Chain A
Amino acid sequence: MTFRRMAIQMFKANLRRYLLFFLCSSFTIMVFFAFYSLYINPDFNDPYQVNGMVSGNLYAPFLVMRVFAVLFIVYAQMAFLKFRKSDFGLLMVLGMTSHNIRKIILLENSLIALASILTGLGAGAVFSGLFFFIISLFVNIGGSSFSLTLESYLYTIKFFGIIYIAVIGIQLILTLRYNIVRLLKESRTAERSLLHGKITGIIGVVLLGISVYDMITHYSPDDARMMLINLGVSMVGVYLLLSGLGDWMKLFISRSSRAYHKHLMFSSDLNYTLGRSKIVLSLITFLVFITISLSGIIFYITWDAENIPVKNNPYDIAYAEVFGKNSLPSETLSEITDHGATPLTSHQTLEYIDLFNFKVFLDQNINTLIGTDYHVEKDHFLNLALVTRGEEWKNQRPEMSTFEMKLSSGNHTLYSQGLIFKMLFNPVPNLMNGLHVIVNEEDYMALKAENKKAIGNLQLLNFKDWKKTADIDAKLNAALAKYNKDNTESWYGNERQEALVFSTKSRISDYLQLQESGRFGIFVISFVGLIFFGASGIVLHFSIQTDLERERIKFRKLNKIGITSKDVARIIGGPLKVLFFLPYALGIALSSFYVVSSSRVEMSTALEPMWFCLLVGGAYLLLQVHFYRIYTKIYTRNMLAHIELLDVPTTNNTRCKFNSNYDNINK
């Protein structure tokens, strides 16, 4: 038998073992491919066809998907190698060299990688079509059509190719450290790690404390780097906490003599289980954390879809007429507003001067319109920030200290009198491309006299029931677009861009967009969440399987002493409970904290998003409880069958008819 033939024979014999790894990898590649195809679909990213909030909702899940793909493939490959290590030990005893082992690793893993990528791409091509179709049921994707580009294939091949090459490379380098005795014991020994003990646990808690403190005091919605570093510190903290938790729990249990005896088996198993599974547990904590955070936020936003447009738009519909644009005749406007589903209750106008980079308002005009009491001193101005966010947001918005008024008589400098944070009126698109300042009458008049063409009017309309204004808003936008096309020069040379810039800003369109993006977001995140749930189950399964032989030996020993099936179930259940639920508890706690501390700043609310996190967390926990029960039942049953403790119904007094074969002789 040649070496190549033997390697192939071994590969065939292990086919069932490979199957799970192969399926997992292919599935990951398939989903990744589907996400990426949608992510780069030109139609889907066209803001004129698909609501930008919808396509934007794919960014975070896809980012997480990428991180997940890396972690999952690396973990699956490593777990697979661990299964094979004891075989390698035996082969080396029989005289196989490390060089031969490296050849086997290279051959087996390359085959799995190649097969997974090909299958993943093939299945992905079919699945992405289905994915696109399902999405089209949830959201209005306009005229978008499904397309697969060469880029999707190339990117997926490149992405996973690099991961596989890196993992296989590392595995090959690690073979240099192979030692026959260690390899033979591999399946029975825990991964040796320097990171264990009570001090490691304390360092983990300290790191978590630091990131909590940092998040509370320094969180900024614009500072993605701070957030990433903070998350990284948290995850390292979780890993170290898990590394030291076993020792702490053992100490805690041993403090009470009764607990020590009661949990003798549990505490020794737990220390081992936690020590061996900390990478798996950290990975699951991360997946649960991401899923729950994203779901919590998306559910909250969708739930809050009625309030957010109201907060963002003080008026039901608004548009700005300036530079001849949007100067809709009052008859046309009345024609639309008088024949809508809901009557017009008020129509107000706010004058301003559009200096491109600056939009200048008069304090008295604003006071008259809104009932405020702003009083700007001569040679001064007020910065106006049109935001709905809370006090915490203030630090994020710098105050402009001076404002140069360019007049024919020369520049006139105004000094800041302060900063106003308030959504005074709807942030109409063509009003938002500049900073807003409020000045006093004298300065305003001086500017107005020299910028007559730049005088704009903000039209602010209120209706009896804003939820019935969808038709009015649509007609108004159509009328504005038509007016601009018929009566003005195009600014952008692009009809759709023109229509977008000079469109209205209304509660109803925000509401409809939020609802649509929420539906899409919920679909995507539920999909990703289910994938993560499945993945965490598979990772747990790998981890438990790696340890199966050791557990079998333990239960064979206990069975010889005398152990009932109830005892077996109890002893199995203890550490499995920790494996199944500890990462969920950590993930839920972390996601609740991060969502609360970020939404406190970004949305001025903390409690409601937290409730949604807990709700989603609860739902996942419920799923996990079912998974735990089914898994433990099957695992216990298999273990009982293995140690022959399953009671087989007997038909007569003799028992010799069951399960007897020559294998038993060898026991």
Chain B
Amino acid sequence: MPILEVENLSKEYKGKGKMNVFRALNGISLSVDSGELVAIMGPSGSGKTTLLNILSGIDTEYSGVVRIAETSISEMSKNELALFRRQRMGFVFQDYNLLDSLTLRENIMVPMVLDDQEVDDINTKTDETLLLFDLGEVKDKYPYMVSGGQQQRAAISRAIINDPEVIFADEPTGNLDSKSSSIVMKTFAKLNALKGATIVMVTHDPFAASYCNRVLFIKDGKALLEITRDNKERRAFFDSILESLAFIGGGEDDL
């Protein structure tokens, strides 16, 4: 059953002058089923982050239809979107997006606190999540006191605290070394396998993408290619991803 449906999505950036229009997304359509772990790849400027920002309701200026769990977010006001985002979506960002003045434990509980949920529920849920991601030892430390990998795991914990229907991740391993990247991707895979979480991730990193079930390649605002892992080994899927990247082209820097 599709949890996320996108139909004919377009986005323009306008500069000064009538002719000065840049099309970041050009009538893209896609569908993600519940429980899928999907990566979106493409060269710089292909529209990956724009797509993710629209899917997650951060960017509201576009044309086309976006439906999450059969609810169209295109029609929502910004405040309705904010609530929808907080309660039904989870986010993981390249720069972790943790609040510097709160400890990791406090950062994780922010979405529930903003929702004014019961104190006992908040504490139970937060402690469970801390345990799941092995953050018990650093829970009372501030973001700048722990490693990037630990910060990103705290960010993932925060993303799932409200049991979202879909988790969006924007370059979640972009700021991490290979060891931390591997831990973070294993965490996503574990979430997907154990909890059946739907995860949509934008990444440059073929290694990170190889943990997914499906990889969608976009270029110039259009979906160009899609490959699925099926029953392939992760190594084999990694090679397929590299081949696909070579096929669609893009700068060497993007690999």
Interface flags, A611-645, vs B, CB<8A=1, else 0: 00000000000000000000000000000000011
* B110 near A661: Cβ-Cβ < 8 Å: no
Please name all residues of chain B whose beta carbon is closer than 8 Å to the beta carbon of A644 when the two chains form the complex.
60, 78
Contact for A561 among B97, B116, B123, CB less than 8 A: B97
Given contacts A265-B113, A560-B97, A656-B11, contact A257 B61 (CB under 8 A): no
Closest to B116 in A: A262
Q: How far is the CB of A172 from chain B (nearest CB, A)?
A: 32
Bound-complex Cα distance A645 to B93 (A):
19
Given contacts A261-B119, A665-B22, contact A567 B114 (CB under 8 A): yes
A566 within 8 A of B: yes
Please name all residues of chain B whose beta carbon is closer than 8 Å to the beta carbon of A268 when the two chains form the complex.
99, 101-102, 106
Interface size on A, residues (CB 8 A): 38
Given contacts A646-B78, A655-B60, A657-B61, contact A562 B86 (CB under 8 A): yes
Closest to B49 in A: A667
* B62 near A665: Cβ-Cβ < 8 Å: no
* A647 near B77: Cβ-Cβ < 8 Å: yes
List A residues 153-191 near B (Cβ within 8 Å). none
Please indicate which of the listed interface residues A262, A563, A657, A658 has the most CB atoms of chain B within 10 Å of its own CB. Answer: A563
Bound-complex Cα distance A22 to B87 (A):
48
Contact for B113 among A264, A271, A655, CB less than 8 A: A264
The segment from B12-20, B200-208, B235-243 found at the interface with A is: B12-20
Given contacts A564-B83, A665-B24, contact A659 B61 (CB under 8 A): yes
Contact for B74 among A264, A646, A653, CB less than 8 A: A653
A134 within 8 A of B: no
Please name all residues of chain B whose beta carbon is closer than 8 Å to the beta carbon of A567 when the two chains form the complex.
82, 114
Please name all residues of chain B whose beta carbon is closer than 8 Å to the beta carbon of A388 when the two chains form the complex.
none
* B15 near A554: Cβ-Cβ < 8 Å: no
* A565 near B86: Cβ-Cβ < 8 Å: no
Interface flags, B104-122, vs A, CB<8A=1, else 0: 0010011101101001001
Bound-complex Cα distance A265 to B60 (A):
27
Interface flags, A259-299, vs B, CB<8A=1, else 0: 00110110011011000000000000000000000000000
A654 within 8 A of B: yes
* B109 near A261: Cβ-Cβ < 8 Å: yes
* B14 near A660: Cβ-Cβ < 8 Å: yes
* B63 near A656: Cβ-Cβ < 8 Å: yes
Bound-complex Cα distance A567 to B109 (A):
15
Q: How far is the CB of B109 from chain A (nearest CB, A)?
A: 7
* B93 near A647: Cβ-Cβ < 8 Å: no
Closest to B45 in A: A665
Interface size on B, residues (CB 8 A): 45
Closest to B155 in A: A561
A395 within 8 A of B: no
Q: How far is the CB of B20 from chain A (nearest CB, A)?
A: 8
Bound-complex Cα distance A564 to B111 (A):
12
Bound-complex Cα distance A265 to B109 (A):
11
Given contacts A655-B60, A656-B62, contact A564 B99 (CB under 8 A): no
Given contacts A645-B79, A656-B12, contact A561 B110 (CB under 8 A): yes
* B82 near A661: Cβ-Cβ < 8 Å: no
* A645 near B78: Cβ-Cβ < 8 Å: yes
Bound-complex Cα distance A655 to B72 (A):
14
Please name all residues of chain A whose beta carbon is closer than 8 Å to the beta carbon of B111 when the two chains form the complex.
561-562
* A562 near B84: Cβ-Cβ < 8 Å: yes
Please name all residues of chain B whose beta carbon is closer than 8 Å to the beta carbon of A659 when the two chains form the complex.
61
Bound-complex Cα distance A227 to B14 (A):
66
The prevalent SS among residues of A at the interface is helix
Please name all residues of chain A whose beta carbon is closer than 8 Å to the beta carbon of B77 when the two chains form the complex.
647
A557 within 8 A of B: yes
Closest to B58 in A: A560
B188 within 8 A of A: no
Please name all residues of chain B whose beta carbon is closer than 8 Å to the beta carbon of A645 when the two chains form the complex.
78-79, 82
Please name all residues of chain B whose beta carbon is closer than 8 Å to the beta carbon of A661 when the two chains form the complex.
13-16
Given contacts A258-B119, A261-B119, A561-B91, contact A660 B97 (CB under 8 A): no
Given contacts A264-B113, A567-B114, contact A559 B122 (CB under 8 A): no
* B113 near A664: Cβ-Cβ < 8 Å: no
Closest to B100 in A: A554
Please name all residues of chain B whose beta carbon is closer than 8 Å to the beta carbon of A562 when the two chains form the complex.
81-87, 89, 111, 114
Please indicate which of the listed interface residues B74, B93, B101 has the most CB atoms of chain A within 10 Å of its own CB. Answer: B101
Please name all residues of chain A whose beta carbon is closer than 8 Å to the beta carbon of B122 when the two chains form the complex.
261
Bound-complex Cα distance A641 to B31 (A):
32
Closest to B122 in A: A261
* A257 near B119: Cβ-Cβ < 8 Å: yes
A492 within 8 A of B: no
Please name all residues of chain A whose beta carbon is closer than 8 Å to the beta carbon of B75 when the two chains form the complex.
653
Contact for A563 among B13, B114, B116, CB less than 8 A: B114
Given contacts A264-B106, A557-B98, contact A660 B12 (CB under 8 A): yes
Bound-complex Cα distance A273 to B46 (A):
42
Bound-complex Cα distance A272 to B86 (A):
26
Please name all residues of chain B whose beta carbon is closer than 8 Å to the beta carbon of A656 when the two chains form the complex.
10-12, 61-63
Bound-complex Cα distance A343 to B122 (A):
85
For this complex, 16 residue pairs linking A to B, each with C-beta atoms less than 8 Å apart, are A261-B113, A265-B102, A268-B102, A558-B110, A559-B58, A560-B97, A562-B81, A563-B82, A563-B86, A565-B78, A647-B79, A653-B63, A654-B63, A655-B62, A660-B12, A660-B61
Residues of B within 8 A of A (CB): 10-16, 22, 24, 58, 60-63, 74-75, 77-79, 81-87, 89, 91, 93, 97-99, 101-102, 106, 109-111, 113-114, 116, 119, 122-123, 158
Starting from the known contacts A261-B119, A262-B113, A662-B22, 6 additional A-B residue pairs (CB-CB under 8 Å) come to A257-B123, A560-B91, A655-B63, A655-B74, A656-B61, A664-B13
Q: Which 8 A-B pairs have the closest CB atoms?
A: A562-B86, A562-B85, A654-B63, A655-B61, A268-B101, A564-B79, A564-B82, A660-B14
